[in-house]
Amino acid sequence: MLFAQILVNGVMLGGLYGLMALGMALVWGVLNIVNLAHGAFVMLGGYCVYFLFTGLHLDPFAALPIAMVVMFVVGYLLQRYLLNLIIRSSHLNTLLITFGLDVVLTYLAQLAFSADFRAINPTYAGSNVTLLGVTIPLVRFGAFLTALVLAAALWVMLERTRLGHSIRATSQNLIAARLYGVDPAQLYAVTFGLGAALAGAAGGLYGMVSQVTPYIGATLTAKSFVITIMGGLDNPFGIILGGLFIGIAEALAAIYIGPTFTDAISFGLLVLILVARPARSLRGA
Amino acid sequence: MKGRVALLGLCAVLLALLPLTGDDVLIQYGIDALLFATLAQAWNIIGGFAGYASFGNSSFYGLGTYGTAIAMAQLHLPFWVGLCLGAFLAVVCAVLIGLPILRLRGHYFAIATLGLSATLSAIIANLDISGRNIGLILPLTRNDTMFYELALVLLVAATGTVAWIARSRFGMGLIAIRENEDAAQVMGVNTTLYKVTALVLSAFFTALAGGIHAYWITFIDPASAFDLTLNVRMVIMAMFGGPGTVLGPVIGSFILTFVYQLLASSISTAAALLFGIVIVLAVIFMPRGLWDLAGGLRRLGPRYFLQNIRAHRL
């Protein structure tokens, strides 16, 4: 029974991880930017939902779409007026500038919101359902479902809409997409905004199942990174699967090996995958 | 060329005389700056010349730190034995890790090396000989002048090595790998050997800097020894100064350390914020570092900045 409970906990957390990585994978796949500020976007989304919840007494799940819109605008503006300036620079430079952004956002958040731990605690935060002896906290289950719904929505958007088609076309061949009338400056900004919006949603959910501080960004970026590599850049459901995998591996490692090993497990797995299957990993490089 | 070397020698001698001022705070800043410059210079070998963005250098730093600490605190051996042990561990690690990981390119190499320090730190945190999570305390030595001169010697040695690399066949091979690895291989460069050698050299100097820092600071724990932000700082300093040049990383790290200390002492909370802004602006306006900026400004004047943006924007 303990094993089943751990598995469920891992799956719930993994869905959230997957959602978080989805935004990074989208930006990476289309813009070829590994956004080191992604975790900072997650953090900002968390604060957004927190203040909507405490200030306007909105239900946190209802506040998610607002946080997503806010983060979309932030991401759009950053890409349009800052990152588009260096997009053709070497990959190390894009890493560096997003790292700089991460530092700026982290310390702006510290100045504006202080370093206090903030948790989003709606009235139903403590409630849970027990199914076959396994306890499922409602908030975590809601977060898990939201992650699945957003992943599905992203998939439908990419497959079925005109915007999705132009995003996929651009990621495959920028010049050809341009010839068919795509404005890359605009499209890049929209894509980056979408990535930030997904990060914002993940941040709101993260604030409900854990706590938000200005400094959560770095480890969340690293996790998104690992999941993106595992899941591949081409399929949102692959990313969700990667998230589930990491969530379960961490939950198991925390119980059976020791909590200090959770980060080492995900990174160790990553190195193994990269080294053992370089051909698959190298395809996107 | 001769004049340049003489000028640099003069700078080194002047730096070596700095402890004569007797200003303790200045000497401590000096040790910090010299060690950071060494780290940036060591990163320059693998990142600047070979073009492999290593985030594993903080692991080599951690191994150097722990090698020295274990030798001194647990085995009661002298300092120099500890330094050798740390460097040895780092070099072995560089060879073992380098062979599989240097096959990866671009982002993937960066990420795989990123995983390395997280993994090593977890292992160290669970070993008895390394003091587990609590860390180790080294014997106390109050002799900042010695640490200063040691750090200076190490920086000069690292810079000398890079100067040799820049003029040697080995360095040409590394640059060829950076520019086009497949072409380099076709031209007869033994890419595996060259890349692993570059990583080993980088690891060697990084570990020595870690060992000196450990003995100077006298207390180490896994979190500070395998700190990834340290690796990021190495990259930033090398990139800021000019990756793939001999003096760029040194100058870049001196300037950035100075700016950071200045900010930290005047407006402590906003220092990190401004540091981030400096990085963002530097990437936009001088993506190839200070070294390139100096030449570019002489050639083009202020148009240099516009040209950079024009070359890299969408």
> Which tops the pLDDT comparison, B23 or B205?
B205
What are the pLDDT digits (tens) for B116-131? 877 888 888 878 787 7
| Largest Cα–Cα separation, chain B | 60
Contacts of B243 in chain A (CB under 8 A): 92
Q: A282 vs chain B: nearest CA distance in angstroms?
A: 7
CA distance linking residue B274 with residue B28, whole number of Å? 23
Report whether pLDDT(A285) > 60.
Answer: no
H/E stretch holding A101: helix A91-113
CA distance linking residue B86 with residue B124, whole number of Å? 14
Report whether pLDDT(A281) > 50.
Answer: no
With the CA atoms of B270, B272, B278 and B279 taken in that order, what torsion angle do they form, in degrees rounded to the nearest 10? -150
Percent of chain B with pLDDT over 70: 99
Burial of B9: CB neighbours in 10 Å, binned 0-12, 13-18, 19+: exposed
Per-residue pLDDT band for B16 (boundaries 50, 70, 90) equals confident
* Pair B12, B129: CB distance under 8 Å: no
Give Cβ neighbours of residue B59 (< 8 Å, ≥ 6 apart). B93, B113, B116, B117, B120, B226
CA distance linking residue A156 with residue B31, whole number of Å? 57
Length reported for chain A: 285
Q: Mean pLDDT, to the nearest integer, of A253-260? A: 76
Residue A118, SS3 per DSSP? strand
Residue among A121, A139, A92, A106 at smallest CA distance from A39: A106
Per-residue pLDDT band for A278 (boundaries 50, 70, 90) equals low
Which is it for the CA torsion A122, A126, A127, A133, positive or negative? positive
* Residue A220 domain boundaries: 2-282
Interior angle at CA A211, CA B55 and CA B222, nearest 5: 35
What are the pLDDT digits (tens) for A216-235? 888 888 889 888 888 877 77
Q: What is the mean pLDDT of chain B?
A: 87
Q: What is the CA radius of gyration of chain B?
A: 20
What are the pLDDT digits (tens) for A19-46? 999 999 999 988 888 898 999 999 999 9
Q: Least CB-CB distance to A275: which of B47, B101, B314?
A: B101
Per-residue pLDDT band for A283 (boundaries 50, 70, 90) equals very low
CA distance linking residue B272 with residue B264, whole number of Å? 8
Residue among A222, A233, A236 at smallest CA distance from B112: A222
Burial of A181: CB neighbours in 10 Å, binned 0-12, 13-18, 19+: exposed
Residue A182, SS3 per DSSP? coil
Contacts of B47 in chain A (CB under 8 A): 92
Length reported for chain B: 314
**Which chain A residue has the Cα nearest residue B284?**
A86
Instruction: State whether B126 and A34 contact (CB < 8 Å).
Output: no
- pLDDT at res. A70: 96
Q: Least CB-CB distance to A104: which of B105, B118, B276?
A: B276
Whole-complex ipTM: 0.82
Report whether pLDDT(A284) > 70.
Answer: no
Q: DSSP for A26-67?
A: HHHHHH----TTHHHHHHHHHHHHHHHHHHH---HHHHHHHH
Interior angle at CA B224, CA B223 and CA B229, nearest 5: 95
CA distance linking residue B199 with residue A190, whole number of Å? 39
Report whether pLDDT(B281) > 60.
Answer: yes
Q: Least CB-CB distance to B107: which of A34, A84, A185?
A: A34
Contacts of A102 in chain B (CB under 8 A): 276
What are the pLDDT digits (tens) for B35-88? 999 999 999 999 999 988 888 899 999 999 999 999 998 888 898 999 999 999
Q: Mean pLDDT, to the nearest integer, of B231-244? A: 87
**Which chain A residue has the Cα nearest residue B228?**
A218
CA distance linking residue B119 with residue A91, whole number of Å? 25
Number of folded domains that form chain A: 1
Residue among A268, A248, A264, A149 at smallest CA distance from A201: A149
CA distance linking residue A10 with residue A2, whole number of Å? 12
* Pair A95, B109: CB distance under 8 Å: no
Report whether pLDDT(A282) > 60.
Answer: no
- pLDDT at res. B287: 82
Instruction: State whether B283 and A93 contact (CB < 8 Å).
Output: yes
Instruction: State whether A88 and B239 contact (CB < 8 Å).
Output: no
What are the pLDDT digits (tens) for A178-204? 888 888 889 999 999 999 999 999 999
Interior angle at CA A49, CA A98 and CA A209, nearest 5: 90
Q: DSSP for chain B?
A: -HHHHHHHHHHHHHHHTGGGG--HHHHHHHHHHHHHHHHHHHHIIIIIIS----S-HHHHHHHHHHHHHIIIIIS---HHHHHHHHHHHHHHHHHHHHHHHTT--THHHHHHHHHHHHHHHHHHTT-TTTTTTT-EEPPP---HHHHHHHHHHHHHHHHHHHHHHHHSHHHHHHHHHHH-HHHHHHTT--HHHHHHHHHHHHHHHHHHHHHHHHHHH-EE-HHHHT-HHHHHHHHHHHHHH-TTSSSHHHHHHHHHHHHHHHHHHHSTTTHHHHHHHHHHHHHHH-TTHHHHHHHHHHHHTTHHHHHHHHHH--
Q: A260 vs chain B: nearest CA distance in angstroms?
A: 7
Report whether pLDDT(A59) > 70.
Answer: yes
Contacts of A108 in chain B (CB under 8 A): 273
DSSP state of A84: G
- pLDDT at res. A260: 67
> Which tops the pLDDT comparison, B293 or A156?
A156
CA distance linking residue A126 with residue A111, whole number of Å? 31
User: With b meaning 16 or more CB within 10 Å and e meaning fewer, what string describes A251-279?
Assistant: bbbbeeeeebbbbbbbbbbbbebbbeebe
- pLDDT at res. A128: 80
- pLDDT at res. B129: 81
H/E stretch holding A227: helix A217-231
Give Cα separations from A36 to A28, A169, A204, A240, B118 (angstroms): 11, 25, 19, 20, 17
What are the pLDDT digits (tens) for B126-163? 787 877 777 888 888 878 888 999 999 999 999 999 99
CA distance linking residue B167 with residue B49, whole number of Å? 12
H/E stretch holding A130: strand A128-131
Per-residue pLDDT band for B269 (boundaries 50, 70, 90) equals low
Q: Mean pLDDT, to the nearest integer, of A52-64? A: 92
Residue owning tokens 């908030």? A139
CA distance linking residue A177 with residue A10, whole number of Å? 40
Q: What is the mean pLDDT of chain A?
A: 87
Q: DSSP for B89-102?
A: HHHHHHHHHHHHHT
Alpha helices in A138-216 (DSSP H): 138-160, 162-172, 174-179, 184-209
CATH number for A143: 1.10.3470
Contacts of A100 in chain B (CB under 8 A): 276-280, 283
- pLDDT at res. A6: 87
